[in-house]
Structure 1
Amino acid sequence: MARHDVIIIGSGIAALSLAAQICEKMNVLVFTKSSREESNSILAQGGVAAVITEDDDLSLHVNDTIEAGVNHNSEEAVQFLVDKGSKVVKKLIQEGFPFDKDLNGNILLGREGAHQKNRIVHAGGDQTGKALTSYYLNRVKGMVELKEEHMVIDLIVTQGHCVGVKAVDQKGERNEYFAEHIVLATGGCGALYSYTSNQQVMTGDGLAIAYQAGARLSDLEFLQFHPTMLYVDGYCKGLISEAVRGEGAYLVNEDHQRIMQGLHKLEDLAPRDVVARAIFQERKLGKDVYLNVSPIKKFEKKFPTIYSMCQRNGIAIEDGLIPVAPGMHFLMGGVETDLKGRTSIPGLYAIGEVANTGVHGANRLASNSLLEGLVFGESLGQCLLQEPKGKRDHLIPSNTVKPIVVHKIKLPTKNEIQQVMSLYVGIERDEKGLKKAKSCFETYINQSSFWDINVNEFTIEELEIRNMLIVSYLITKSALQRKESRGGHFRLDFPSKDNVNWGKVKVVHSNETIKSKVGVG
């Protein structure tokens, strides 16, 4: 049996930030389901939000985060994120990380939706995630064991403690690995939806295996749909960063009417849930929506990744209009943790998008995502370095192999799951649609053999589908429980204005904050 000090599941910025903190003093094994170049972090075009100038203030960043989160945040977690985030970014600057600068050598600061100040640092224009990932990969190179193309399919829990994982490679070979500390850094679940900014490998695996192990999950109904995905011939081709609107671009419908004017005080830089719903409503009326980028000079230099993506898909930036549609982007809820990343299961931790610290509330503030990964990765690393070694050695079993249980169960296709989630558990929901989705998922979930099968019988594709079913069911169940509209959870049968001028929409919901609790093992 392979033993390590720490096993990290995932290779995005949260995972790498943690690995960089501990790799000199601890034996670290990192699993990634695909390759090190396929995390959501690499795709992140937006920058990192942090207070680094004298004309900004930590309290303003805190307020912006909580206002975007519609007062569903943990204020303690937000304070922690903002304070630690400022220090982490300043340290990166001191270390020489190549954030974009002006001709005088000053760090360039952008503004994105719902921010009061220009506080977004970028690298390579719209390649911040790629630059940060490369930076941290270089820091841990040769100092951690990295297993690519390995999917963790189960957590090993003994006497209530998580002590290891089961993993399978692309050839189907399965092995068990044990460690003092097991860390989930698997990202979100964008692949549950037809339109998403996420990598297609984001099938909610970390959420599913944590739930099956008995960990507590919460706030799964809060899903952020990014307003502006490049939309071509019925498909979303990639993300158009909110930073584009921060530079002056604005949204128009096919009649060239600005759709955000008069809808929200921040107009095109309103919180993402508001902008996504506005675009969604235009599209329900049969109207295409475009991002007018004509106010931005030298677009190809400021946003090289987006410019190249548009060129590849036949969109001429010179015409000034980029066709857009919303796509699933980020999960605000997840595996419940404290500020040190500890879950409800001793020995199991979660950081990044898979975790729910309460920092994002009902809707994540723009560019707080990479910040979260940096902050909580480093924070957990400092915590683990202080832990005594060997305290769980006695819990590691000599043999965890279970008798083979042969059950062939019926599974849907990924596309079928995506269609149900997009239709009934998307940007707008109601009780009727949610119950339809729940019933659909229960067709599979309620099979007597669904929960007691041996995962060794499944192909990787089947394992992903099973995880998608589990997470889709939990999200739908959570969305049914919350009878209000708040942030990324919008119920047509319980609508809310959310400081938005939605015209004749009748407000019938309560402002009471309800913390959903789903999945107590």
Structure 2
Amino acid sequence: MNKENVIIIGSGLAALTLANRLVNFKNVILLTKGNRDQNNSCKAQGGIAAAVSKSDNWKSHMADTMTAGCQYNNKQAVRVLVQKGPNLIRDLVEQGLEFDHDAQGNFLLGREGAHHERRILHAGGDATGKVLMEFMHAQLVDKVAIKEGETVIDLLVNNGRCIGVITSNQEGERSTYYAQHTILATGGCGALYQVTSNDSSVAGDGLALAYRAGASLSDLEFIQFHPTMLYINNQCYGLVSEAVRGEGAILKTGNGHNIMKGVHVLEDLAPRDVVAREIQKHISKGENVYLDISMIVNFEEKFPTITQLCESANIDLAEAKIPVAPGAHFHMGGVKTNQLGETTLPGLYAIGEVACNGVHGANRLASNSLLEGIVFSNLLAEHLLTQTNAQLVRFKIKDPSTSAKNKQLVLPNASDLKKLMTDYVGIERNQSGLMHAKQWLEKYDFLDVNSLDIPYLTNEEIGIINRLTCCWLIVTSALSRTESRGGHFRSDFPYRDSSRWGDQQIIRNNKEVTRFEEMKYIEVGNG
């Protein structure tokens, strides 16, 4: 038995930011099922959005965030993000983090989709996430225990409070950790899809853990598909940052047609959901879509990471054409939290992409994700530092049920789940496809699995059960929202005028939504 003051599940930017703020005051342990670099933060190319230039201001950043989010955002959360962001960025610079700058020391600011100003800070060209994560790790050397290969398989809940976790290492050996505060920082769910920018380990585990423990979930239907994944010969090689279009690249078909001309006033820099659907429309017709980069001078120097991706895919940049397709990128929904990261389950918190405090609305604005991780992790840290350590009451873990031990679970494989989600719960959805997906998912044994069954299951079975749970939750939420908005596009329900978009309503005690009706609910739109 180990006791830690704070357990952080995850290894991305939100996790490291929180750990860095707490390490001198709390006993912190980070748990991650892979190695420390298996997260989406390390892969982030585009940069961090913040109104740091004299020509920019937080009100403009807020307006762009709200517009991209289809006015579904929590306005107070957005205000906090854009007002606190610039000062926290400056704090990182004072601590030694170097963003790209000119000879006079001015930030080299880029522009991305749905931004009306150049406000994207980069580091290492298109390696912002990698540079930032290396910087954060350097701050934590010898200060925080990072346990790699340690999968959290269930949350410990006693008398309505989360008091720790049960883990399993790569050999299947189980451990129990107790903590006053347990934080989910597990990232999104992109690995539920065939084409994604996400790390292969990011498959929604945090959502499944929270759901089994009784925490509330919100807005799960909103999934952003990045328009430009490097995709050739049915293989995805990685993300082609929106910053490439910010520098002037144009989306074209093989015959040279500019696909975004006349589609949106911002053309190639329109909000991501708009661009992704337009690309997919042409791909569905059998056309190939390319990024024309012929107008970008010194492309290899400006975008070294993307250049390496192109080389790995045997793409000759001299032809100035990068083949692209949309891929699952970011989950706007997640575990419901307030701005302090508190979930509806006392003792359990969530930060980063796994959390949903409403800051992104129905569609995240480009490069707001790293900023979110920095801002709201700092807010949670400030909150936790004001909390006095309450004595933990350990309890005897109940004996496992015999259900999982005595029956052979019937489970699909991850590839089948990816195909299902891509085909029926992807960029466009409709009633018949979503119902087919729901019925297909419910053929398998996962809805009745609970914390008492977990000790009898293998790591592989738990991983598939988590995936099934997340897929089912997303499908159910997508069925409940009978409108098209942002990252949720229903081909059987057109977009409404934004003035008619209503607030979310809470559906409680609905067996179609949740099996733990006395414990949890999912928030959905009012249709």
Q: TM-score range by the shorter chain?
A: over 0.9
User: What per-residue deviation string (whole Å, max 9, x for no partner) do you get for residues 337-392 of structure 1?
Assistant: 00000000000000000000100000000000000111111111111111011x24
Q: Is the 8 A contact 2:411 2:445 kept in 1?
A: no
Cα separation, 1, equivalents of 2:213 and 2:159: 12
Q: Which residue of 1 aligns with 2:36?
A: 36
Cα separation, 2, equivalents of 1:432 and 1:120: 40
Displacement, 1:172?
A: 0.8
Match of 1:109, SS state, is: coil
Displacement, 1:208?
A: 0.1
Q: Which residue of 2 aligns with 1:505?
A: none
Q: Is the 8 A contact 1:219 1:333 kept in 2?
A: yes
- What is the one-letter code of the residue matched to 1:220? L
User: What per-residue deviation string (whole Å, max 9, x for no partner) do you get for residues 94-123 of structure 1?
Assistant: 222110011222111000000111110000
Q: Which residue of 2 aligns with 1:478?
A: 477
Q: Is the 8 A contact 2:66 2:72 kept in 1?
A: yes
Match of 1:94, SS state, is: helix
Greater shift in the superposed pair: 35-44 or 95-104: 95-104
Displacement, 1:398?
A: 4.3
Match of 2:444, SS state, is: helix
Displacement, 1:77?
A: 0.4
Q: Is the 8 A contact 1:445 1:470 kept in 2?
A: no
Q: Which residue of 2 aligns with 1:157?
A: 157
Match of 1:483, SS state, is: coil
Displacement, 1:464?
A: 1.3
Cα separation, 1, equivalents of 2:107 and 2:169: 43
Q: Is the 8 A contact 1:218 1:515 kept in 2?
A: no
Query: Is there any run of 5+ residues in structure 2 with no aligned partner, and where?
Result: 508-512, 521-527
Displacement, 1:404?
A: 5.3
Query: Is there any run of 5+ residues in structure 1 with no aligned partner, and where?
Result: 500-508
Q: Which residue of 2 aligns with 1:496?
A: 495
Displacement, 1:513?
A: 4.1
Q: Is the 8 A contact 1:445 1:469 kept in 2?
A: no
Displacement, 1:450?
A: 3.5
Q: Which residue of 1 aligns with 2:523?
A: none
Greater shift in the superposed pair: 163-172 or 451-460: 451-460
Cα separation, 2, equivalents of 1:514 and 1:427: 22
Cα separation, 1, equivalents of 2:220 and 2:455: 28
Matched, 1:469 2:468: yes
Match of 1:444, SS state, is: coil
Match of 2:183, SS state, is: strand
Displacement, 1:452?
A: 6.8
Match of 1:511 among 497, 501, 512: 501
Matched, 1:309 2:299: no
Within 5 A, what are the aligned runs for 1:267-278?
Answer: 267-278=267-278
Cα separation, 2, equivalents of 1:422 and 1:498: 28
Cα separation, 1, equivalents of 2:352 and 2:378: 11
Q: Which residue of 1 aligns with 2:524?
A: none
Greater shift in the superposed pair: 86-95 or 435-444: 86-95
Cα separation, 2, equivalents of 1:249 and 1:398: 60
Cα separation, 1, equivalents of 2:379 and 2:445: 37
Match of 2:358, SS state, is: coil
Please give the TM-score of this superposition, normalised by the length of structure 1: 0.95
Displacement, 1:462?
A: 1.8
Displacement, 1:25?
A: 1.0
Aligned pairs, how many?
509
Q: Is the 8 A contact 1:71 1:361 kept in 2?
A: yes
Q: Which residue of 2 aligns with 1:206?
A: 206
Match of 1:361, SS state, is: coil
Displacement, 1:461?
A: 2.1
Greater shift in the superposed pair: 360-369 or 490-499: 490-499
Matched, 1:385 2:375: no
Displacement, 1:171?
A: 0.9
User: What per-residue deviation string (whole Å, max 9, x for no partner) do you get for residues 433-474 of structure 1?
Assistant: 000000011111577x54476212222222111101000000
Match of 1:359, SS state, is: coil
Percent of residue pairs identical: 50
Match of 2:409, SS state, is: coil
Q: Which residue of 2 aligns with 1:506?
A: none
Q: Which residue of 2 aligns with 1:417?
A: 417
User: What per-residue deviation string (whole Å, max 9, x for no partner) do you get for residues 294-324 of structure 1?
Assistant: 1111111100000011011101111010000
Displacement, 1:261?
A: 0.6
Within 5 A, what are the aligned runs for 1:19-418?
Answer: 19-389=19-389, 391-393=390-392, 395-400=393-398, 402=400, 405=403, 406=405, 407-418=407-418
Q: Is the 8 A contact 1:484 1:510 kept in 2?
A: no
- What is the one-letter code of the residue matched to 2:483? E
Q: 1:465 to 1:495 in 2, by over 3 A?
A: same
Cα separation, 2, equivalents of 1:286 and 1:91: 49
Cα separation, 2, equivalents of 1:378 and 1:262: 42
Cα separation, 2, equivalents of 1:223 and 1:4: 34
Match of 1:4, SS state, is: strand
Match of 2:443, SS state, is: helix
Cα separation, 1, equivalents of 2:200 and 2:161: 31
- What is the one-letter code of the residue matched to 1:148? E
Match of 2:16, SS state, is: helix
Displacement, 1:516?
A: 6.2
Match of 2:30, SS state, is: strand
Q: Which residue of 1 aligns with 2:486?
A: 487
Cα separation, 2, equivalents of 1:461 and 1:266: 45
Cα separation, 2, equivalents of 1:69 and 1:57: 19
